Structure 1
Amino acid sequence: MKSYSIQEINEVLKGIIVGDAAVKITAPEQLELASASEISFIGNKKYEKFWETSKACAAVVNEDISIEPGENRAFIKVENADLAMSQVLELFAPPTPLFSTDIHPTAFIDNTAIIGNGTRIGAGSYIGPKVQLGENVTIYPNVTILDECTIGKNTVLWSGAVVRERCHIGNDSIIHPNATIGADGFGFRPDPERGLVKIPQIGNVVLGNNVEIGANTCIDRGKFSSTVLGDGCKIDNLVQIGHNSRLGKFCIMAGNSGLAGSVTLGNGVIIGGSASIKDHTTIGDGAIIGAGSGVIGDIPAGKTMLGYPAIDARDTLRQWAILKRLVNESKK
């Protein structure tokens, strides 16, 4: 079991220690569940009230905290406790699953594939013709990478992930279990004789560097060219990204949200959980779409939208307040 002193943790965080720094820390834990040998976090003043009843011996806190750690307890004061939390979790993170051999004998690797130095490929994986894997790529068991794909260095693909033909994933990315990159876009046209005719989807998917794709998420290939996700995009589980959509850098999409075809997101756009974005819609840089919202038209940069259909969040909240007041009055 890993353990660290307060001083050792602070060597990483470079904060200010307040209180008793003698105790050894065995694990990080949330405030209400922490034991007397565990460290917790207070990233917002509204959680200060839980410190008195918490058993944690230490906490990483923001510099502006208004309480003291108390007897035999300690705070590490930092500029941003939420960011510091990620550093502490890295210290205590258990090792990732082990590979008994770098290339498992049951993996199929086409003889035209190029495998970079230090790359590991797990049991039952399929690496197709003309695939290129960069250095230190990790392919867990039962991953499928089809013809002419490229995977950048240090990227990790977890079990069950499928990367369809001619798709490209950048460096330092993570594809979680059962995500599908490059399935056919949803394209059909009615024909009086044949019913719904499938429109061939001949494009691909291009993911930038440092992209993370959640479990069971689907990113469809472009009908003509590419579906593109820029550097640093973070996509949650169970997200649908339609064909020919284009995301700028550092976009976030929360679980169960979806983009129809040919949606454009600027840089730093945030899409809340279960939000739906209509096809051929453009959302400007830094815009925020609230959870459960439905976007049916273009959104300017920097706007926060909420509701179904989505309008300015302040207007939506006013509408909800009025409706609540009307309902309460009707009960009198």
Structure 2
Amino acid sequence: MSTKSFSLEEINQVIKGIIVGATSQKITAPQQLETATENEISFIGNKKYERLWQDSNACVAIVNEDIAIAPGENRAFIKVKNADLALAQVLELFAGTPPLFHQNIHPTAVIDASAVIGENAEIGANVYIGPKAVIGKNARIYPNVTILDESTIGDRTVIWSGSVVRERCHIGTDCIIHPNATIGADGFGFRPCPERGLAKIPQIGNVIIGNWVEIGANTCVDRGKFSSTIIGDGCKIDNLVQIGHNSVLGKYCIMAGNSGLAGSVTLGNGVIIGGSASIKDHTTIGDGATVGAGSGVTGDIPAGKVMLGYPAVEARDALKQWAILKRLVRESGEKKA
């Protein structure tokens, strides 16, 4: 439990907004509007939530510049250009310290003599680091992580417990790999075979992950069949995501939970894949395109398009189809009545 507290002015020194109103309350924590107490700060990131402010007990809210209400007595707003980004700065103020390492390398860690460990790297209990692996400076490897032969982990990257980095895979700097993620498992390659039913196709490639990438818990990034599966700089991958062999993600892509790429999918820069969306193999999705939650993509998508449905079509077409179906169902029910 955090014991930190800040005044309204101290918080504004960090987010550099415009204060409207005033409060004498010390701010002890951030909280959502509905459950905040009189010593807590909240935020209003969209005008549709302005209605919740009247019944909230929060003493301060971070708000966008277009807010149309007043804060009220002994309450204040901090107006900013982007309330979501400002809130992120406030959350950092109140964040606790991560789990501590009492020594840089725990005595139960097994590290091959040929591995290279960078300056100030921290390695927890029962970690295994294989031959010729390289761990960067100030990297943090939590207990029970496995990093196999010839893999590299960049400076300041954090790998949480239970994760596995298979052989010859490469993770860049300032990445976060959340618990039980698997980087570099075999791609799903099988072909019918008269002698064996299904013959396994060897997967001899690897995975290359750029800088500032975040991989969610229990997510799997499969190694390439004969080259690399690539995750570009700044990509953010949610929990329980599947990225198939030889897929290539550009920079700053987002994939939400339970979504999946089959093999050899290419995403441009800034692509957004909604939760539980499925992308067919050998599909290309252009820069800045969005695939809605639960959609199924069966063909290439041009840059900037928004796709919905199963199979996915342009959003405006999907909405028209759904409206027509809704009307047909209603008319059918009226006729039966």
Corresponding position of 1:7: 9
Segments of 4+ in structure 1 off by > 6 A?
A: none
> Structure 1 residue aligned with 2:96, among 89, 94, 98?
94
After superposition, the C-alpha distances for 1:91-128 in whole angstroms (9 at most, x for unaligned) are 00011011111110001011111001110000011011
After superposition, the C-alpha distances for 1:201-243 in whole angstroms (9 at most, x for unaligned) are 0000000000000000000000010000100000000000000
C-alpha distance in structure 2 between counterparts of 1:21 and 1:144, whole Å:
51
Corresponding position of 2:70: 68
Contact 1:235 1:253 in 2 (8 A): yes
Aligned-partner SS, 2:173: coil
Corresponding position of 1:185: 187
C-alpha distance in structure 2 between counterparts of 1:178 and 1:198, whole Å:
25
Give 1:194 shift. Answer: 1.3
Contact 1:7 1:21 in 2 (8 A): no
**Cα root mean square deviation, aligned:** 0.5
> Structure 1 residue aligned with 2:149, among 147, 150, 165?
147
Corresponding position of 1:208: 210
Contact 2:25 2:38 in 1 (8 A): no
Paired amino acid for 1:53: D
Please give the residue correspondences for 1:1-332 in structure 2 after superposition, counting only pairs within 5 Å: 1-332=3-334
Normalising by structure 2, report the TM-score.
0.98
Aligned-partner SS, 1:124: coil
C-alpha distance in structure 2 between counterparts of 1:21 and 1:117, whole Å:
46
Paired amino acid for 1:287: A
After superposition, the C-alpha distances for 1:242-288 in whole angstroms (9 at most, x for unaligned) are 00000000000000000000000000000000000000000000000
**Count of residue pairs brought into register by the alignment:** 332
Contact 1:175 1:214 in 2 (8 A): yes
Contact 1:120 1:138 in 2 (8 A): yes
Q: In structure 2, list runs of 5 or more residues that go unmatched.
A: none
C-alpha distance in structure 2 between counterparts of 1:17 and 1:288, whole Å:
36
Normalising by structure 1, report the TM-score.
0.99
After superposition, the C-alpha distances for 1:121-150 in whole angstroms (9 at most, x for unaligned) are 000110110010110000000000000000
Paired amino acid for 1:173: C
Contact 2:62 2:78 in 1 (8 A): yes
Give 1:328 shift. Answer: 1.0
Aligned-partner SS, 1:71: coil
C-alpha distance in structure 2 between counterparts of 1:312 and 1:17, whole Å:
42
Give 1:196 shift. Answer: 0.4
Paired amino acid for 2:178: H
Q: In structure 1, list runs of 5 or more residues that go unmatched.
A: none
Give 1:79 shift. Answer: 0.7
Contact 2:23 2:59 in 1 (8 A): no
Contact 1:23 1:37 in 2 (8 A): yes
Give 1:21 shift. Answer: 3.5
C-alpha distance in structure 2 between counterparts of 1:311 and 1:20, whole Å:
50
Contact 1:277 1:295 in 2 (8 A): yes
C-alpha distance in structure 2 between counterparts of 1:113 and 1:2, whole Å:
41
Aligned-partner SS, 2:191: strand
